[in-house]
Each structure stands twice: as structure tokens, then as C-alpha cells.
Structure 1
Amino acid sequence: MKQTTQGKSGIKDVQNSCDERGIAIQKVGVSDVHLPFLIKTKSGSFQSVLAKIKLAVDLPQEFKGTHMSRFIEILSDWSQKPVSYREVEYMLTDTIDRLHAMRAHIDIHFKYFIEKAAPVSGLKSMLDYDCVFSAELVRGEQLDFMFGITVPFTSLCPCSKEISHYGAHNQRGTMRAKIKQLPGKFIWIEDLAAMMEEQGSCQVYALLKREDEKYVTEKAYENPKFVEDVLRDLVLTLRKIDGVEWFEVECENYESIHNHSAYAAHVECVEQ
């Protein structure tokens, strides 16, 4: 016979009742939760961002449902504290304890801003980067943490430069990296973004004066790269990061002379 428990208020607790279908669920929780979050910066302060979050736990086969309100309570509590690698671990530990689970998983997507100086004028402006913290924790085990970032860049086509009497077509592109580091290792968003930006034909800036525009145009022309070149140089760069266990990279050029994009991708486990 199915039984429905009662909570402290005397109201029936349906989700805590027994389920007889014999199916455990690997992930159950909340998604598309939008909250202000505080992200730790390399300078030691924090940046307030708008985060889109998915938080989930495992659910044993004997339980009908989980307690959805507790996920929001947890996220609301943690949205007031600066978050980085260690805080994500604490957050998932809190989730496991409060939901009586064995495993918890979180994805935190957010747009992060980094101040950049124009290459000649030195004028400063903010450039935005799409980032994600993705982590899973099993009770009693170490945190499995992944950090991802999307970085814009300019590329100039080597073939176009070689065959043209003057000029060469160029385009804006994006490179996306996801990295998993060994326990205790962590790279700051600012450092990874700077390393990645060096792999294109030229960097992208939010604010450019005429002297800056001249510089980036000529810099790209002197440094032509296919999307394959950008990807391979990015792979070599990520291999040098201390403690990287695994990474996945994608590069996409939004072609200026085609109605399609050029794309390349690579996944690698790094031997330590």
C-alpha cells in the first residue's frame, strides 16, 4: 500500500512518499534559475554577475520526488557569497546534506567582464566573456570541477593573403575551452582568457581609436591563421597549464565571404 507522509505543518508530504516503479533518477532538481551571484576575481575582490543555474541531485528509486524548494533556498544562500572552486565544493556538500543525497551536480553560467586597454591609445573598456562553472560531487569523494570560457578573436585567412594582390579577408571568431584540473588546481578566469586571446590573428577590443584600429588591422595581416591554426595553437597552450587533466576546445570563424562558419574541435586527456 502506498503511504504519504506528513510534514511538520501536518500537510501531506507527497514527494516524500514511496514510489514502486523501481527507477532511480541520476539527476533531479531545478534549471534555468536566474540569480545574482558573486564571482571571485584574481584581484581578490568579487564581480557581481547574473547567473543561470542548474542544480540537481540523485534520487533513490524508493522516493517519489525531491524537495524542489530546498534547491532555491541553497542557491539563495550562496548567491550572497563570493564563489570560486572551493565555494562550489561547499555548495554541493551543503546540497547533498540538505537533500539527503549521495551525489550533486551544478552548472553556473554567467557573463564575466574583464577590463582591457586598447593596444596603442591605452584607453580602457570592459569586454564580456561567457563562462561556466560545472561540478559534480559524490558524498565522501573529491570534487569533479570543470571551468569553461568563450573568448572572441580576429582571424585573417592565410590563403586569401597568399593569392590576393592586396588585402585579405578576415573575420571575428570565438574559441571555447572547457578544462578539468586536478584536485587543488585552479586557473583564474583572467589568466585563461589572456592565454586564449593570444592564439588568434589578433585580439578583440570593445573600444578602439583610429590608431588602435590601424594596429589591429596590421597585426592580423601579419599573423594570418586558419581556424585549424587557432585550434592547434590553443591546444598547445592548454597543455602547458599546471594540473590540467582534461580539456575540450572548439574554434569557430564567422566567415566574412561565406554564408557559413569554419569550425574545428579537439578533446584531450593530458598525461601528468
Structure 2
Amino acid sequence: MNLKDVQSQKDNRNIPIDKVGVKNITYPIVLLDKHKKQQHTIAKINMYVLLPSHFKGTHMSRFIEILNENKDCIDIRKIGKILKEMQNRLSAEKSYIELNFPYFMEKQAPVTKIASLMSYSCTVEAYGDKQSEELFLTVRVPITSLCPCSKEISDFGAHNQRGIATIKAQLKEFVWIEDMVEIAESSASCDIYSLLKRPDEKYVTEKAYQNPMFVEDIARNITIKLEKDVRISHFTVEVENFESIHNHNAYAFIER
């Protein structure tokens, strides 16, 4: 059956569209896992292309076709191939893809060594044209901080809080999510754990007390480590503490 291709018809308004495509696709993906080789998770995916001014519309179904053809292993090293397929199949000069997903890591409690799963919210963003590609990895890591000022001025105790350290890195080569998580966790007063027994609670409480940090300290600690990583060309660091004694959050941001 010969059906009319309306999307490919000429448009006379002479206005290109910077991004057109499909958004908020819920889709199972398989990621590379540093310790277990592969990890299955669920992503929210956005896929776009630049639409030239002379096309009326894009072919939305082709985005899903490309996704289906690459479903078995979505990893950073394969993103460039997907971008090129989007450009070729949709006659586009530029293409974009964004994947938002939870990434799970098994983590042992510090004393009892009981294992439990921690989830980390991650985003992979990539865009490219016929000549080049840019790739970004964002990892959001829950952390603990203990206030140095509170410790200094109090006769006993000090207030602490849970926070989020967010690292967004532009990659020159492959970087494990686990590496980014380790950089953030090791830069704070203490880690966050899913499961702690009483000996573990004692340990993390005392570790944080012995390692007080402002959001400024944590952001600077992360920055020092990222600056030494040759796999990363550009990055931003955000640290936000959900204050336990104030009705506001503490925040720090660094860009390099």
C-alpha cells in the first residue's frame, strides 16, 4: 500500500526546530557494571534531532526502532553509534539522547559487613553532529556531613545532615559510575548506607564526628579528585545539605 509521507512534505515557514523527537520513554536497559559485568535497570529516555526548516515533521516511530535495535546493551561507548543512526535514519544534522535511570550498587555495612543495595540517580546525555560528539555523565550521590562550626562551639555533640553530591562530567573516555560514586562518598564526612545495625550506627556516627565538613569542604574535596582524572575534560560539582537545624538547605557549586 502506497501511503503518503506527510512528515517529509515541504514546509514553507523557513523555521528549523532545534529539538524534535520523543520524550519520557520508560524502557528497560542493560548497563555495564564494574563488578558484575552487566546490570538491568529501567530508564526514562528522551531522543531528539534537529529538524531542518524544509521538513514538515520528523518520523517519531524511527526513534523507537533505533532504541529497540540497541536495547541489549546501552553503555557510554555505544552512544555515538546511536547518535549516528538517529542522524542517518532521520536525515538530521544533529541528534540528542538523554537517559535517566537508577543505578544499584551492593554496599557492605562498615562493621557487620551486612550487604544491601544502594541506588544512585544517574543521567547519561549525549549530542553530536556529523563531525563530533559530546558525552556527559551525571551521578547523584547521597552523603553525610557534620557541621564543623557546631562541633567547635558545642560542649558535646554536633548536628549532622544528609546531603546530595551531584557530579556532572564531560567525558573524554569511558568512566565507571562506581568511580564517580566513590569520589563523592570519600569526599564527605561519612557514607550513607541502606542497612545499618547498632555497631554500624556507632561507627558512622563517630566517623562523621571525627570528620566534620561544610558543603564548601565537600565540593572542594570532590573537585580536587576530578581535576586529577584524565578521562574528564569538564565538570560541575553541586553539594546540597538538607539542614537538620535550619529551615533551609546549604549549597555549594563549582565548575571546572
What TM-score do you get using the length of structure 2 for normalisation?
0.97
Q: CA deviation at 1:13?
A: 1.9
2:49 alignment partner, one of 35, 50, 57: 57
Query: For residue 239 of structure 1, what is the amino acid of its counterpart?
Result: E
Verify: 1:174 aligned to 2:164, yes or no.
yes
Measure, in 2, the Cα distance between the counterparts of 1:160 and 1:44: 42
Q: How does 1:158-173 map to 2 (within 5 A)?
A: 158-173=148-163
Structure 2 stretches of 5 or more lacking a match?
none
Cα pair 2:77 2:174 within 8 Å, conserved: no
Aligned counterparts, 1:208-227, within 5 A: 208-227=196-215
List per-residue Cα deviations over 1:166-205 (Å, max 9, x = no partner).
00000000000000122xx221011111121001100001
Whether 1:147 and 2:137 are equivalent positions in the alignment is yes
Q: Which residue pairs with 2:62 in the alignment?
A: 70
SS in 1 for 2:174: coil
1:82 to 39, 55, 73: 73
Matches of 2:96 and 2:171 in 1, distance apart? 17
Q: Residue 82 of structure 2 corresponds to which residue in structure 1? A: 91
- Distance in 1, matches of 2:231 and 2:79, equals 19
Identity %: 46
TM-score by length of 1: 0.92
In 2, Cα distance between equivalents of 1:76 and 1:52: 14
**CA offset at residue 44 of structure 1?**
5.9
2:16 paired with 1:16: no
Q: Report the alpha carbon displacement of residue 148 of structure 1 after superposing the two structures with TM.
A: 0.6
* Residue equivalent to 1:117: 108
Q: Is the 8 A contact 2:187 2:222 kept in 1?
A: yes
Segments of structure 1 that go 5 or more residues without pairing to the other structure are: 1-8
Summarize the Cα distance change of 1:132–1:117 in structure 2 as closer, same or farther, 3 Å threshold. same
The answer to whether the Cα contact below 8 Å between 2:14 and 2:53 also exists between their aligned partners in 1 is yes
**2:228 equivalent in structure 1:** 240
- Shifted more, 41-50 versus 218-227: the winner is 41-50
Write the letter of the residue equivalent to 2:200: D
Provide the C-alpha distance between the structure 2 equivalents of 1:51 and 1:33, rounded to a whole number of angstroms.
Answer: 8
- Root-mean-square deviation (CA), in Å? 1.1
Deviations 1:132-152 (A, max 9, x none): 11001211x232111110001
CA contact (8 A) 2:107 2:193 kept: yes
Select which of 193, 206, 215 maps to 2:194: 206
Between the two proteins, the alignment pairs up a number of residues equal to 256
